[in-house]
Amino acid sequence: MTSRLNLRIIINGKKKLDCCNGEFARRAATNESKLYYDNSKATLAAKCHLNHIITTAPHLTPKIIPMITISIIQIMGLSCHVCCLSLVDKGLYAAQDIY
């Protein structure tokens, strides 16, 4: 993926894995199209990271895969929106609002 994100949180174990990504925006520069674009970009990046984790970890069972989530944080001024993306079934992703 070639687009840049404002925030990446990486787990550094045997392999580096992305576990969270996000976007920041100033309140004055925020409009509806920027919010939609930033949310789409962060969600697409989370989907790519989730697919990478699932395909590179051969020990994962079908029961464990829906429990793996990637967090998405979107901060606009003093407001914050947090959700997580998971693969609930083959080809079916779900974004759940957390805050």
Residue 87 makes CB contacts below 8 A (sequence gap 6+) with: 50, 54, 65, 66, 68, 93
DSSP code at position 38: H
CA distance 49 to 35: 21
Listing from the earlier edge strand, what are the strands of the sheet with 69-76?
A: 7-12, 16-25, 69-76, 79-89, 92-97
Closest to 67 measured CA to CA, from 45, 92, 87, 83? 87
pTM of the model: 0.81
pLDDT digit string, tens, across residues 38-97: 889 999 999 999 999 999 988 899 999 999 999 999 988 888 899 999 999 999 999 999
